[in-house]
Chains A and B, each alone.
With several copies, the nearest count.
Chain A
Amino acid sequence: MALVAGVDIGNSTTEACVAEIGPDGDVEYLSGALAPTSGVKGTADNVEGVVAVVRRALERARRGVQELDAVLVNEATPVISGLAMETITETIVTESTMIGHNPDTPGGAGLGVGTTVAFGALGEREPGEPVICVVGAGIDFEDAAHGINAAVERGIEVTGAIVHADDATLIANRLREPVPVVDEVTLVEKVPLGMPAAVEVAEPGRTIRTLSNSYGIATVFGLDAEQTRMVAPVARALVGNRSAVVVRTPDGDVTGRRIPAGALTLSGERGKRSVEVDAGADEIMTALRGVRPLTDAAGEPGSHVGGMLARVRDTMSELTGTRADAVRIQDVLAVDTFVPQRVTGALAGEFALENAVALAAMVRTSRGPMRLLAARLREALGVDVLIGGVEADMAVLGALTTPGTGKPVAILDLGGGSTDAAVATDDGVVRSVHLAGAGDLVTKLIDSELGLDNRELAEDIKKFPLAKAESFFHVRMEDGTARFFTDPLPADTFARVVVLSDTGMRPVPTRHNLDKIRQVRRAAKHKVFVVNALRALEQVAPGGNLRQLGFVVVLGGSALDFEIPDLIAEAVAGFGIVCGTGNVRGSEGPRNAVATGLVAAHALAPELGLAVGS
Chain B
Amino acid sequence: MADTGVSTRRTLRLDERGTAGPGSRTDEVVIGLSPAFGDFFTKTIVDIPHAEVLRELLAGIEEQGVHARVIRFRGGSDLAVIAHAAAKLSGSGIAVGVLSRGTTMIHQKDLVRLSNLELFPQAPLMDLDAFRKVGRNAARYAKGESPEPVPARNDFMARPRWQAKAALLHIKETEFVVPGADPVELDVRFQLADAG
Is there direct touching of A and B in the complex, by C-beta distance under 8 Å?
yes
Give chain A residues whose Cβ lies under 8 Å from the Cβ of B112. 488
A471 close to chain B: CB less than 8 A: yes
B157 close to chain A: CB less than 8 A: no
Give chain A residues whose Cβ lies under 8 Å from the Cβ of B27. 473-474, 482, 484
Return the CB mask of A465-490 against B: 1 if under 8 Å, else 0.
00000111110100011101010100
29 pairs from A and B in contact (CB 8 Å cutoff) = A104-B64, A105-B64, A118-B3, A120-B1, A140-B5, A168-B63, A169-B62, A471-B26, A472-B108, A472-B110, A472-B111, A480-B145, A482-B27, A482-B145, A484-B65, A488-B112, A488-B115, A491-B108, A491-B111, A491-B116, A491-B117, A494-B108, A494-B141, A494-B146, A495-B141, A495-B144, A497-B146, A507-B146, A509-B148
Give chain A residues whose Cβ lies under 8 Å from the Cβ of B136. 166
A141 close to chain B: CB less than 8 A: yes
Return the CB mask of B84-109 against A: 1 if under 8 Å, else 0.
00000000000000000000000010
Give chain A residues whose Cβ lies under 8 Å from the Cβ of B132. 166
Give chain A residues whose Cβ lies under 8 Å from the Cβ of B4. 138
* Central interface residue in B1, B63, B144, by most chain A CB within 10 Å: B63
Q: Of A104, A143, A486, which is within 8 A of B25 by CB? A: A486
Give chain A residues whose Cβ lies under 8 Å from the Cβ of B59. 141, 167, 170
Q: What's the least CB distance linking B121 to chain A, in Å?
A: 15
Give chain B residues whose Cβ lies under 8 Å from the Cβ of A509. 148
Q: What's the least CB distance linking A575 to chain B, in Å?
A: 39
The residue of chain A having its C-beta at the shortest distance from the C-beta of B108 within the complex is A494
A471-B26, A472-B111, A509-B148 are known contacts. Are A120 and B3 too (CB-CB below 8 A)? yes
Q: How many residues of A are in contact with the other chain, CB < 8 A? A: 39
Q: What's the least CB distance linking A319 to chain B, in Å?
A: 41
The residue of chain A having its C-beta at the shortest distance from the C-beta of B190 within the complex is A142
Q: Of A143, A166, A173, A482, which is within 8 A of B2 by CB? A: A143
A351 close to chain B: CB less than 8 A: no
B2 touches A471 (CB 8 A): no
The 4 closest A-B pairs by CB, nearest first: A138-B5, A484-B27, A472-B110, A120-B3
B8 close to chain A: CB less than 8 A: yes
Interface residues of A in 95-114 (CB under 8 A from B): 104-105
Give chain B residues whose Cβ lies under 8 Å from the Cβ of A140. 5-6, 8
Give chain A residues whose Cβ lies under 8 Å from the Cβ of B43. none
The residue of chain B having its C-beta at the shortest distance from the C-beta of A146 within the complex is B2
A139 close to chain B: CB less than 8 A: yes
Q: Which residues of B contact A (CB under 8 A)?
A: 1-6, 8, 25-27, 59, 62-65, 108, 110-112, 115-117, 132, 136, 141, 143-146, 148
Return the CB mask of A304-326 against B: 1 if under 8 Å, else 0.
00000000000000000000000
A473 touches B144 (CB 8 A): no
- In angstroms, Cα B59 to Cα A144, docked, is 14
A496 close to chain B: CB less than 8 A: yes
Give chain A residues whose Cβ lies under 8 Å from the Cβ of B145. 480, 482, 495
Give chain A residues whose Cβ lies under 8 Å from the Cβ of B117. 491, 494
* Central interface residue in B1, B117, B145, B148, by most chain A CB within 10 Å: B145
Give chain B residues whose Cβ lies under 8 Å from the Cβ of A169. 62-65
Q: What's the least CB distance linking A259 to chain B, in Å?
A: 29
A147 close to chain B: CB less than 8 A: yes
A147 touches B65 (CB 8 A): no
Give chain B residues whose Cβ lies under 8 Å from the Cβ of A484. 25-27, 65
Tell me the number of A-to-B contacts counted with CB atoms below 8 Å.
87
Q: What's the least CB distance linking B1 to chain A, in Å?
A: 7
A491 touches B115 (CB 8 A): yes
Q: Which residues of A contact B (CB under 8 A)?
A: 104-105, 118-120, 136-141, 143-144, 147, 166-170, 173, 470-474, 476, 480-482, 484, 486, 488, 491, 494-497, 507, 509
* Central interface residue in A168, A169, A491, by most chain B CB within 10 Å: A491
Q: What's the least CB distance linking B196 to chain A, in Å?
A: 14
Q: Of B62, B108, B115, B148, which is within 8 A of A170 by CB? A: B62
A473-B110, A494-B108 are known contacts. Are A139 and B5 too (CB-CB below 8 A)? yes
The residue of chain B having its C-beta at the shortest distance from the C-beta of A137 within the complex is B5
Q: What's the least CB distance linking B23 to chain A, in Å?
A: 11
A140-B5, A495-B145 are known contacts. Are A105 and B26 too (CB-CB below 8 A)? no
B144 touches A105 (CB 8 A): no
Q: Of B25, B63, B110, which is within 8 A of A105 by CB? A: B63
A482 touches B63 (CB 8 A): no
Give chain B residues whose Cβ lies under 8 Å from the Cβ of A118. 3
Q: What's the least CB distance linking A153 to chain B, in Å?
A: 15
- In angstroms, Cα B173 to Cα A499, docked, is 43
Q: A118-B3, A473-B26, A491-B117 are in contact. List 11 more A-B contacts (CB 8 A).
A: A119-B2, A169-B62, A169-B64, A173-B62, A472-B110, A473-B25, A473-B110, A474-B144, A494-B117, A494-B141, A507-B146
Q: What's the least CB distance linking A578 to chain B, in Å?
A: 36
A484-B27, A491-B116 are known contacts. Are A120 and B62 too (CB-CB below 8 A)? no
B6 touches A138 (CB 8 A): yes
- In angstroms, Cα B3 to Cα A147, docked, is 10
Give chain A residues whose Cβ lies under 8 Å from the Cβ of B148. 509
Give chain B residues whose Cβ lies under 8 Å from the Cβ of A144. 2
- In angstroms, Cα B61 to Cα A176, docked, is 21
B144 touches A470 (CB 8 A): yes
B3 touches A139 (CB 8 A): yes
- In angstroms, Cα B145 to Cα A167, docked, is 19
B2 touches A139 (CB 8 A): yes
Q: What's the least CB distance linking B191 to chain A, in Å?
A: 12
* Central interface residue in A147, A169, A472, A495, by most chain B CB within 10 Å: A495
